[in-house]
Amino acid sequence: MKYKAYKDRLTKIADISYTTAVLGWDQETYMPEKGAGFRAQQIATLSGMIHELFTDKELGKTLNKLDNSKKLTEKQRRNITQTLKDYKRQKKYNREFVELLSKTQSECFQAWQQARKENNFKLYAPHLTKMIALKRKEAEILGYKKHPYDALLDQYEPGARVADLDILFKDVRSQLVAFVKKVAAAKQNDDKFMRLHYPKDKQWDFGIDLLKQMHYDFDAGRQDLSAHPFTTSFSPKDVRVTTRISENNFKSMIWSCIHEGGHGLYEQGLPDSEYGLPSGEAVSLGIHESQSRLWENMVGRGLPYWKANIKLARKYFPENLNDISAEQFWKASNIVTPSFIRTEADELTYHFHILIRYEIEKALMEGKLEVKDLPAYWNAKYKEYLGVKVPNDAQGVLQDIHWSHGSIGYFPTYSLGSFYAAQFYATAKKEVKSLEDKIENGNLLPLLEWLREKIHKHGKYYSAEELCKKVTGEKLNFNYFMDYATEKYSEIYGLK
């Protein structure tokens, strides 16, 4: 009976939490501009209610009793352990702080949208300054042993620490930088046809077809447009994705759709019988990102995928693509060149974008960098790491939505996700017979079924490290990514 009471409480919390998520989704897609103030208030109120329900003393008593129970199954025990950890963390917050953070998030998001629209960082700076102050306070509230950034990292990638990430990004510098220079020195492939005029409506329809081919379930989801592509879930039966379309950059829509589709498939694959429980949630953002990156890069930027889809692309855009082969499209999809837009970066230089944000967030949390100095610091880092001159703030420090949401500690999960993805895909190729032949025939179901069985169905039963070992036989190993990148780009660029 105690476990049922626990489950009922978490179901109720999930109901309110996902209701809040609906308001957040609407805020970023359809909400009229003048609704911003009341929407911030509504989300703050619901966030306060969630906090009160989750930190209720009775729930704490129930969790402590169940934690000592010998009658639970292993899955139930893991749910209790995870929820008790979250409960103890949430107890460190008071309702006033939760509501203030929520309200600041909504206001900061609106300010970011306006600042980006007007290319004016000063409109955003006061709100972001308030947000960073709250995140510094949050790190103190949560507590940490070595670095304030650790407290925030743990919210997105449980167990991640600055000490470990510093080593990982050292591998990026020591191995990836040299290889990217080698690629950059090679003859570049032509991708001019990607920047011809591609009508918005036709792009939309093509993107929908790509999602259907991935087996994204439109009876349990939908796609919309947003300034920054994202995925949100209200249950495994209602998972929303968004994309963005540029009529003069065909790549933008394709990779947005496939990337967010990967996130959406993970959410749709979580067990709905575990709704509201840890066993019905994604493991971590790194694992979540592994699903989007696997579909986007290993599959969607692979030659077999375009052998399957070039005819469909020509059908929609014959005037642009009739003379383009699958191999040409593949090479154009994998141009390696430094740029200043993270979401449109190639899969190799992408990790330099993450490295820059990682260093900025660490400095912000340490108090070594203040918000007013961000644009200049950002531009200097892009010159240092990518050798590019940032043209303006809208395409520079204002390009990402994350800080407006208070998502400090989120960015490293993008690199982690890419590295997990390479390791998972290498394993899938061994275990799914003729996987890339199936992809070349447009059959993506065997890969999805493998991911459902190996990753999606487990929810949070395993930690990220445990799951990686269970699926691949070893912990996260950067060499899988380097092997994948070296083999793929050596072929594309004709390197020895």
Rounded CA-CA distance 357/194 in Å is 28
pLDDT score, position 177: 84
pLDDT tens over the chain, length 496 residues: 799 999 999 999 999 999 999 999 999 899 998 998 899 899 989 998 998 999 999 999 999 999 999 899 999 999 999 999 999 998 898 889 988 998 999 899 999 999 999 999 999 999 999 999 999 999 999 999 999 999 999 999 998 999 989 999 998 888 998 899 899 889 989 999 999 999 999 999 999 999 999 999 999 999 999 888 999 999 999 999 999 999 999 999 999 999 999 999 999 999 999 999 999 999 999 999 999 999 999 999 999 999 999 999 999 999 999 999 999 999 999 999 889 999 878 999 999 999 999 999 999 999 999 999 999 999 999 998 898 999 999 999 999 999 999 999 999 999 999 999 999 999 999 999 999 999 999 999 999 999 999 999 999 999 999 999 999 999 999 999 999 999 999 999 999 7
Task: Give pLDDT, residue 122.
Answer: 97
User: What pLDDT, on the 0 to 100 scale, is given for residue 356?
Assistant: 95
Q: What is the reported pLDDT for 364?
A: 97
Residue-wise DSSP of 243-282? E--BTTBHHHHHHHHHHHHHHHHHHHHS-GGGTTSGGGS-
Tokens representing 357 are 């944000």
pLDDT at 271: 97
Residue 486 tokens, joined: 């070296």
List the chain domain ranges.
Answer: 2-120, 162-493
Contact 342, 356 (CB under 8 A): no
Nearest CA-CA partner of 285 in 145, 160, 445, 435: 160
The residue assigned the tokens 């949630």 is 281
SS3 (DSSP) at 147: coil
Whether 260 is catalytic is yes
Of 28, 107, 260, 281, the catalytic one is 260
For domain 162-493, the CATH class is: mainly alpha
Between CA 481 and CA 422 the distance in angstroms is 5
